Amino acid sequence: MKRLRYAMVGGGQGAFIGAVHRKALALDGQAELVAGALASTPERAHASGRELGLADDRNHADWQALLDDELKRPADERIDFVSIVTPNHLHYPVAKAFAEAGLHVVCDKPLVHTSEQAAELARIVERSGSVFGVTYNYGGYPMVREARALVQSGAIGDIRKVVVEYHQGWLATKLEDGGDNKQAAWRTDPARSGAAGALGDIGSHAENLVATVTGLETERLCADLGTFVPGRRLDDDASMLLRFRGGARGVLVVSQIAAGCENGLRLRVFGTTGTLDWRQEEPNTLLHAPLDGPPRLLTRGSPWLSESARLATRLPAGHPEGFIEAFANVYLGVIAHIRALQQGAAPDPMLADYPTLADGARGVRFIERALESAASVQKWTDF
C-alpha cells in the first residue's frame, strides 16, 4: 500500500512531542515525512529538516512558505496531511490555513485558545471536507478502548461516578526560569500556552479520557485552580467536581507540582454492577471488578478482548506496548479516514477511530468553563 505523505509544522530540534509524533507515524509504515517547517527561526527550521533528511526544496523556514509550496505542486506530489506540533498559540492560524486549502490536518491538543476559534475551524472543515484529527493520544491505548467497549456493552451497568486524576511533578519548581527548558518555558507562558496551565496541558487529556471511555456529557462543573510555585503566571494544580447529564457525578484532579510523580494518569468508572480501573503507567492491564464476582485483571493482547482493543494491539500478550503505540493508533484512525475518502468510500468507524475536531472543541470549552468557575463565587458553572 502506498504510504501517505505528510508535513510537520513545529517539532524540530529540542522538541519532545514532535519526535514522538514522527516515531508513531513511522511505526506502521503507512506515512512518510516529506516536508516541514520545523522551528520558529529559519536557521533552526532548516537545521532540523536537514537532520531528518528532508529535501532542500521541501525544508521550509516557516509554515506559510510550506503551505505556499505545497499548493504550487501538482496534486499527486502534495502532502496528504499536515501534523501540527507547535506551542498552542500557533495551532489556530496553522490549522485554519491548511484546512482552508483543503488539506487534511492533525493537531496537537489543546486544539486552540477559544471556542470561537474552534467554531471557525468547524465551519472551515465542513466547507472543505478536510479530515481533522486531534492527538488526545491516551484514547489510543488498547485497554482504554477495551474500557470503552465494556461500558458500551453494559458490563458495569449504569455509570454512577467517575474519578480521573493526572499527577505530574516536573513543574514542582520554577523550571521555566533560566531558559534551559523549552517545554517549561512555553507551557507556563500565557502568550503561548493560553489562559490555562496544568488545566490545559494535562487537564484536557483527563477530560477527553472520561468522555472517550464513558460517553458521558458534562452538564455542570465546579473548579478550584491554584498556582503553588511563586511567580508562575498560570495554574499548576486543578481540582473540580463534575455533574453529567443523566445524574452521574465526577471528580477530576490534575497537578504538575505533585513532587515525585511522573505521569500518573488514572481513570476509575463506577457503575451499578461493577467498576473499571485503568492506569497509564501500567497501560497493558485493566481491572474489571464486578458487583457479583471476583475482580478480573484484563491484559492487552488477550483473544477475548473487544474488536476495537484487538485492532489497537500489535504484539502478543506479555509484550508491553505503550505511549508511542497509542499515538500511532490515533494516526492509524486518521489515515484510515483519509484513505477511505481517497477511494471514494465511507470510512469504517472501527478503523477510522480517532479524536475529532468536535472532541478538540469540547476540550476548549471545558478549559473555558473551568476557568470561569474558578474565578466565580457562584462556582457551579453550566457546561
Quickly name the fold that domain 4-138+328-356 has: Rossmann fold (3.40.50)
Query: Which residues fall within 8 angstroms of residue 161, CB to CB, at 6 or more apart?
Result: 248, 249, 250, 251, 269, 270
Residue 100: what pLDDT? 98
Cell of 176: 521555566
Query: What confidence tens digit (pLDDT) does each residue in 69-121 have?
Result: 999 999 999 999 999 999 999 999 999 999 999 999 999 999 999 999 999 99
Taking the domain 143-315+362-382, which CATH number applies? 3.30.360.10
Residue 273: what pLDDT? 98
How far from 218 is each of 9, 14, 198, 214, 382, CA to CA, in Å? Answer: 33, 37, 20, 11, 9
Residue 99: what pLDDT? 98
Query: What confidence tens digit (pLDDT) does each residue in 37-66 have?
Result: 999 999 999 999 999 999 999 999 999 999
Residue 14: what pLDDT? 86
Cell of 19: 519526535
Q: Which residues pair with 242 in a beta bridge?
A: 221, 250
Residue-range domain boundaries for the chain: 4-138+328-356, 143-315+362-382
Query: What confidence tens digit (pLDDT) does each residue in 124-137 have?
Result: 999 999 999 999 99
Residue 375: what pLDDT? 96
Give the HSE-up count for residue 175: Cα atoms under 13 Å, Cβ half-sphere: 17
pLDDT in tens, the chain (383 residues): 899 999 999 999 988 999 999 999 999 999 999 999 999 999 999 999 999 999 999 999 999 999 999 999 999 999 999 999 999 999 999 999 999 999 999 999 999 999 999 999 999 999 999 999 999 999 999 999 999 999 999 999 999 999 999 999 999 999 999 878 999 999 999 999 999 999 999 999 999 999 999 999 999 999 999 999 999 999 999 999 999 999 999 999 999 999 999 999 999 999 999 999 999 999 999 999 999 999 999 999 999 999 999 999 999 999 999 999 999 999 999 999 999 999 999 999 999 999 999 999 999 999 999 999 999 998 999 99
